[in-house]
């Protein structure tokens, strides 16, 4: 059994609800692996309480927290400093409590690109089609552009696709109805919508027109293999699952709070997938 002392370093994940979060499992696995005197705990915080509870956690000695739905924009608003990804996304998923105030970063894009590389997929091997224009698409689109990728956004609500493309020039927009016919023009397809997740309808996406070698990434991780990924695999395309992104996006926070850069490996994947 791993015991913590009176000087243990503390971090956690804030959300409402937060009981479904896999982040405690990720961070506590790393803490145990590295023999660190620390703990990472779930912190269910109501939206109305978020602006007052976060500074209180900093005063109570926490090193920082992860931020999940619905607090990512509220977290952005309370930071004295944010990184470039957070600024472009308008959202923060990692807070670091420093003597100078609360600093925020958005590690979703970093996690996505790191997971692509882990699967042997080059982020800028060819044009990228992003399905969805929500918070995750913002962070991922910005990170892919930094890698030199040419991105196109398609979304059910065209105004949101246009707004995201305007925030990430020179991103292009494709009408949602044309996503299947145009698929042959792309080297990487990414689902960033919530479709395909447990309790959600499946993503309507026929892969008949895929170019050979198309990489198909889904950021949904429950189920581990979505219908989109199963279809890609059945056609001999390259599937990239979403749980790896969740593991990789956790690395920068852990490193800032606990002073060690942890490894994402098969053993961690199995523990978090279980
Ligand atoms: N693997 C990871 O580490 C990771 C990280 C972040 C998020 N995620 C997952 O990614 C998903 C999206 O997260 P988010 O924060 O970007 O959510 P969000 O901001 O709410 O965006 C949701 C997106 O899904 C689209 N959508 C929802 N229902 C749809 C439908 N019936 N038909 C077509 N499009 C639909 C929305 O389109 P409209 O604009 O038309 O509404 C929007 O583009 C979530 O399931 C989340 O759990 C995974």
> Order of strands across the sheet with 128-131?
172-173, 151-154, 128-131, 188-191, 215-218, 238-240
Give the pairing of strands 215-218 and 238-240.
Answer: parallel
Report the nearest-CA residue for atom 45 of ligand 1: 194
The predicted pLDDT at position 220 comes to 97
The CATH number fitting domain 9-107+250-273, selected from 3.30.505.10, 3.40.1160.10, 3.40.50.10860, 2.70.70.10: 3.40.50.10860
Identify any residues that bridge with 151 across adjacent strands, giving them in sequence order: 128
Q: What is the mean pLDDT of residues 21-28?
A: 98
112-131 exposure pattern, b = at least 16 Cβ within 10 A, e = fewer: bbbbbebeebebbeeebbbb
Decide: 135 and 273 in contact? Cβ < 8 Å: no
Catalytic residues: 72
Decide: 91 and 114 in contact? Cβ < 8 Å: no
Q: What is the pLDDT of residues 100-125, one digit of tens each?
A: 999 999 999 999 999 999 999 999 99
Residues with CB under 6 A from ligand 1: 108, 111, 132-137, 155-157, 160, 192-195, 197, 219-221, 242, 245-246, 249
pLDDT at 2 over 90: no
- Compute the distance from residue 226 Cα to the ligand 1 centre, in Å: 14
Q: Which atom of ligand 1 is nearest to the CA of 72?
A: 15
Q: What is the mean pLDDT of residues 124-141?
A: 94
pLDDT at 90 over 90: no
* 84 is an annotated ligand-binding site residue: yes
pLDDT at 1 over 80: no
Decide: 244 and 220 in contact? Cβ < 8 Å: no
Residue 271 sits at the vertex; the CA angle it makes with 66 and 15, to the nearest 5 degrees, is: 25
Q: What is the pLDDT of residues 196-224, one digit of tens each?
A: 999 999 999 999 999 999 999 999 999 99
- Compute the distance from residue 1 Cα to the ligand 1 centre, in Å: 39
Confidence class of residue 180 from pLDDT cuts 50, 70 and 90?
very high
Report how far residue 72's alpha carbon sits from residue 90's, in angstroms, rounded to the nearest whole number.
8
The predicted pLDDT at position 135 comes to 85
Confidence class of residue 145 from pLDDT cuts 50, 70 and 90?
very high
Domain boundaries, the chain: 9-107+250-273, 109-245
Averaged pLDDT of the chain:
96
pLDDT at 29 over 90: yes
Mutate to test the pocket of ligand 1, among 193, 203, 218, 242 (most ligand atoms within 8 A of CB): 193
Burial of 201 (0-12, 13-18, 19+ CB in 10 A): exposed
Decide: 119 and 244 in contact? Cβ < 8 Å: yes
pLDDT above 90: percentage of residues in the chain:
96
- Compute the distance from residue 215 Cα to the ligand 1 centre, in Å: 20
- Compute the distance from residue 148 Cα to the ligand 1 centre, in Å: 24
The predicted pLDDT at position 7 comes to 96
Q: What topology is assigned to 109-245 in CATH?
A: Rossmann fold (3.40.50)
Give the pairing of strands 64-67 and 94-98.
Answer: antiparallel
Report the nearest-CA residue for atom 7 of ligand 1: 136
Tell which residue, 210, 219, 270, has the closest CA to residue 113.
Answer: 219
Report how far residue 141's alpha carbon sits from residue 130's, in angstroms, rounded to the nearest whole number.
8
9-107+250-273 and 109-245 have identical folds: yes
* 261 is an annotated ligand-binding site residue: no
């Amino acid at each position: 059994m791993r015991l913590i002392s009176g000087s243990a370093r503390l971090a956690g994940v804030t959300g409402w609800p937060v009981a479904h979060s896999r982040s405690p499992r990720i961070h506590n696995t790393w803490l145990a692996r590295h023999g660190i005197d620390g703990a990472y705990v779930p912190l269910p915080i109501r939206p109305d309480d978020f602006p007052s509870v976060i500074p209180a956690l900093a005063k109570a000695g926490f090193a920082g927290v992860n931020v999940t739905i619905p607090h990512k924009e509220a977290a952005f608003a309370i930071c004295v400093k944010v990184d470039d990804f957070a600024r472009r996304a308008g959202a923060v998923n990692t807070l670091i409590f420093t003597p100078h105030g609360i600093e925020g970063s958005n590690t979703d894009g970093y996690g996505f690109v790191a997971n692509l590389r882990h699967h042997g997929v080059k982020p800028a091997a060819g044009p990228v089609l992003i399905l969805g224009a929500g918070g995750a698409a913002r962070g991922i689109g910005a990170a892919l552009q930094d890698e030199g990728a040419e991105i196109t956004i398609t979304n059910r609500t065209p105004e949101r696709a246009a707004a995201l493309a305007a925030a990430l020039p020179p991103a292009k927009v494709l009408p949602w109805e044309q996503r299947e016919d145009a698929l042959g023009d792309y080297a990487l397809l990414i689902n960033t919508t919530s479709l395909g997740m447990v309790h959600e309808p499946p993503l309507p996406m026929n892969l008949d027109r895929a170019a050979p070698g198309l990489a198909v990434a889904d950021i949904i991780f429950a189920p581990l293999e979505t219908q989109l990924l199963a279809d890609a695999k059945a056609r001999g395309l390259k599937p990239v699952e979403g749980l790896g992104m969740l593991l990789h996006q956790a690395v920068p926070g852990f490193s800032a709070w606990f002073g060690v850069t942890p490894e994402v490996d098969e053993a961690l994947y199995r523990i978090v997938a279980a």
